[in-house]
Structure 1
């Protein structure tokens, strides 16, 4: 996969992240319209669309870029491969993160436009409570553990189903509804809807997500110590989501 044109890999990360955020934000808007006043049903509708959409996107773009769609996943891939000469290079990491962030913003704008809302909005949904930040640490640690645990045990082919299932569950068992993704967090800042997040909450969420990623990678190192080269990042068909 490293032999693929770098531009194709970056395009896959941009499109995958954009479509992921579009799914999250768009289904959130639809849920508000279909089930006004019932937050539980709105969350069910939002999470169901995200689970199915994420699984399809991983299958679609995984062979091209590894389907990270998430700076936390890309950073973990880069960090895990430093001592073994594998994973993303520093330059590729920078390109992935830029593509993912731009994709996240584009996806939010696209969802707003599809539902006849102002293309550029700024969310007023404040989320940065202590409980929500702990939820983001837990959600991101679990996501990284799933992705790298499967890769280190030669089960990366299960990533599409496993990652989507984990995100679907984490919507419900974490207080934050499992953003677990800095690019998605930044993208959702640009939609003042059910799925949005206020700018003031974004820095704390991203810090919590990076802490969670470090914890997840550390735990996998303890449970599944690498005995050979780190699995190639094309095997890490994980992403994030919400």
Structure 2
């Protein structure tokens, strides 16, 4: 269990650090918001690919509480292990944000003032998270789990630009990002709305997977 939790901790730490660090770097390099977002997206996508590839064989490569909760719902892991996973994901992601702040000569704990609220952002997070869960579970059902790193990274990269929220899709990282008053931050008061949307999106992703993987019946006229 220690190896699995360590992998989840490190993966979450690297993910949190890459999201915040690349956001700060983008802000330093240019004032063009489109380029800043592209820099942020690129670093996030590459880091996701790396941590899922490296740590996936050890822990399953969750790094995200809704991924863990979806597995718990499907009885793929125990309640105790799921709790441990979520805790290390939150702690790892938050420490990663602290490290990113320090690497750019900022206070380690720098609460964000970047408010993100509105029904449109809520919908965006539902869509982004539903897609994430759907991808993971469909690939697993199709015995193509080895493709998860690339396909999931592609989804997040795409969702950065087609969703208004820029695709947080991760409660642990959403909370962690509230501790950096930078380009990639989110104010703590905006976090609950995002997390609620992500949980709903995860549930929708599970339901869509069940729909798409249901066994065919003899009376299925589309068979």
Query: What range describes the TM-score normalised by the shorter chain of this pair?
Result: over 0.9
Query: Cα offset for 1:224?
Result: 1.0
Q: Secondary structure at the match of 2:54?
A: helix
Q: In 2, distance between residues paired with 1:99 and 1:93? A: 10
Q: In 1, distance between residues paired with 2:67 and 2:150? A: 17
Q: In 2, distance between residues paired with 1:172 and 1:214? A: 23
Query: Cα offset for 1:88?
Result: 1.2
Structure possessing the higher relative contact order (Cα contacts under 8 Å, 6 or more residues apart): 1
Number of residue pairs matched? 216
Task: Find runs of 4+ consecutive structure 1 residues off by over 6 angstroms.
Answer: none
In the TM superposition, what whole-angstrom CA distance separates every residue of 1:117-141 from its partner, at most 9, and x where no partner exists? 1111100000021111100000000
Matched, 1:24 2:13: no
Matched, 1:96 2:74: no
Residue among 3, 10, 16 paired with 1:8: 3
Matches within 5 A, 1:199-214: 199-214=188-203
Tell me which structure has the larger Cα radius of gyration.
2
- Across the aligned residues of Structure 1 and Structure 2, the Cα RMSD in angstroms comes to 1.0
Residue 185 (structure 2) aligns with:
196
Q: Runs of 5+ in structure 1 lacking a partner?
A: 1-5, 82-86, 228-242
Matched, 1:73 2:73: no
Query: Cα offset for 1:8?
Result: 1.0
Matches within 5 A, 1:224-239: 224-225=213-214
Q: Secondary structure at the match of 2:181?
A: coil
Q: Runs of 5+ in structure 2 lacking a partner?
A: 217-223
Residue among 119, 122, 125 paired with 2:111: 122
Q: In 1, distance between residues paired with 2:138 and 2:105? A: 42
Relative distance call for 1:226 and 1:152 in structure 2 (3 A) is: farther
Q: In 1, distance between residues paired with 2:192 and 2:42? A: 27
Q: In 2, distance between residues paired with 1:179 and 1:25? A: 12
Residue 215 (structure 1) aligns with:
204
Matched, 1:49 2:43: yes
With the length of structure 2 as denominator, give the TM-score of the two structures.
0.95
Q: In 2, distance between residues paired with 1:220 and 1:172? A: 24
Q: In 1, distance between residues paired with 2:214 and 2:132? A: 18
Contact 1:152 1:226 in 2 (8 A): no
Matches within 5 A, 1:54-203: 54-81=48-75, 87-203=76-192
Q: In 1, distance between residues paired with 2:143 and 2:106? A: 45
